[in-house]
Amino acid sequence: MILPKTDRNLAKAAEACFERLGDRDAVFFEGEWYRSGRQAERASRIGAALVELGVEPGDRVVVMMENSPDVNVVYQAIWRAGAVITPAIFLLQPKDLRRIISDSGASAIICAPAFLQTVAEASEGIDTLRLTVSTGPPLEGVLSLDELLAHEPGEIVVRPNDELAVLLYTGGTTGASKGVMLTHSNLWQAGWASRQMRQPGIDRFISCLPLSHSFGVLGLASGLHADEPTQSILMKWFEPVQWLELAQEHKVQAGAFVPAMLYALLRQPLEDYDLSSLRIIGSGAAPLAMETRDELARRLPNLQVREGYGLTESAASLCAMRPDKIKPGTVGVPVPGAELRIVDADDNELPVGEVGEIVARSGTVMKGYWNAPELTEETIRDGWLHTGDLGRVDDEGFVTIVGRKKEIIIRGGFNVYPRDVAEALLEHPAISTVGVIGRPDPRHGEEIVAFVQLAPGAEARPEEIVAWAKETIGGYKYPREVHILDELPLTPVGKLDKKALQQMLVAV
């Protein structure tokens, strides 16, 4: 498929989208509909005010807010000012926020009132930060969003397609976070590719993922390509009962999740809600357990569960399911404009069905890591993004993710993929959630360790699970060590926090 040749500036794309679809009820949030015309005007006013206040083209503007209609308004306003969105998940501690502000050299920050103290602690002594705006009332040294909205609407400060639109810091689940540089063109193409894989006739969806995450940014970019009116039911954050109530009330047709959210939904009485309008559940950001997928299919038989695959470094866009062909257990096929290969340690392409590292070439691949040219050169080689993910491709082009390259456990010279072990353990009737990591071992090199969360009301002892695994999984793959936790640690976006598990292992 040939990509259309057009200006890819995201502020201009947002303006064109409004002109194309007109004024309408666009976002429902906490009991109120927000109209697209009102949102467009607010973005124009705030963007012009930011320029007046000294935000210059290319400046980084940190945004630390819970989900609300104002997040998209602020994002579009920053683009209109020619600046770069730098999202910060609102759960960050001051030290983590300080790293983002300092490393990015941000000149401004826009936040919700609840986070002003965190912002004050995080920004102390950082000279580049000249402007703080709160969505609440004005305070000493802090402007209010209402003050910016008093400005007259302004023109777009147009930035070239290859200039930065978003600087996204990775979650750092296995190490320090890195700033991923995504251009206007990266996000424009990611949004366009997402629309090509979209199911026709789906026009009302529910959004519960953090808009500060790459998955949320992709959703915004995808919306800029809409050719028919759509409506979003937006949640401040995910809460399973509220999600079900909103899905029933608004006859929602689709929603996107990370796997931890889907597991939380399955613990609710789904059958007590009218979900007959629900057609598609999208899952990404982490592998979806077969048991979770199968239970969703059993309890909601009219539903399609579609996994996808992407990295922050690829604007969250590499693979998705085609509307006309679904293959459970895979993450779909490469989206339009993306090429994928499976390679060995020497970057030689592997045959169909063999496991190797996934490398990708696409217009969605990042410009590089912020202030890290050596890491950029290591990650993008000869135009190919080395994802660090292990996978295989079948003869129909469907991609299956096996695990992370750095997370392979080598026990006695044999490669063990943590996902394979986790999937097998989830067949145990008492286990609901699993995390598998390796521990250094003087005899075998590494030993397999499983952290498990039991299903509600279930009972099992670690030694029983080890014995069961020895019989069921067998060979060199079964875990010799099991730890039972009340809850497995998750990152703010719902991924299993492997770094926290490693820290627990050290403390044992």
Helix (H, G, I), strand (E, B) or coil at 168: strand
- Please, where in the chain does CATH 3.30.300.30 lie? 410-507
The Cα 321–Cα 309 span in angstroms is 10
- Please, where in the chain does CATH 3.40.50.980 lie? 36-159
Structure tokens at 448: 């397999």
Q: Calculate the dihedral angle through the C-alpha atoms of 234, 109, 159, 26, rounding to the nearest 10 degrees.
A: 20
- Cα 143 to its chain centre, rounded Å, is 30
H or E element, residue 74? helix 69-80
H or E element, residue 47? helix 36-52
Q: Which ranges in 197-339 belong to alpha helices (H)? A: 214-223, 240-249, 259-266, 290-299
Q: Would strands 280-283 and 254-257 be described as parallel, antiparallel, or unpaired? A: parallel
Q: Is the pLDDT of residue 1 over 60?
A: no
The per-residue pLDDT for 2 is 58
H or E element, residue 187? helix 184-196
Q: Is the pLDDT of residue 415 over 80?
A: no
Q: Is the pLDDT of residue 106 over 80?
A: yes
Architecture of domain 36-159: 3-Layer(aba) Sandwich (3.40)
Architecture of domain 186-404: 3-Layer(aba) Sandwich (3.40)
The Cα 493–Cα 287 span in angstroms is 13
CA atoms within 13 A on the CB side of 406: 8
Q: Is 192 exposed, middle or buried (0-12, 13-18, 19+ CB in 10 A)?
A: buried
The Cα 138–Cα 117 span in angstroms is 14
- The residue type of 257 is F
What's the predicted TM-score (pTM) here?
Answer: 0.86
Structure tokens at 405: 């390259």
Superfamily for the 410-507 domain: ANL, C-terminal domain (3.30.300.30)
The per-residue pLDDT for 176 is 64
Dihedral sign computed on CA atoms, order 136, 140, 142, 144:
positive
The Cα 162–Cα 291 span in angstroms is 42
- Please, where in the chain does CATH 3.40.50.12780 lie? 186-404
Interval 316-373: pLDDT, tens: 999 999 888 889 889 999 999 999 999 999 999 999 999 999 999 999 999 999 999 9
In this structure, are residues 155 and 9 in contact, taking their beta carbons and an 8 Å threshold?
Answer: no
pLDDT > 70 in the chain, percent = 97
The Cα 449–Cα 434 span in angstroms is 10
Structure tokens at 338: 């993306």
- What is the number of other CB atoms lying within 10 angstroms of the CB of residue 473? 18
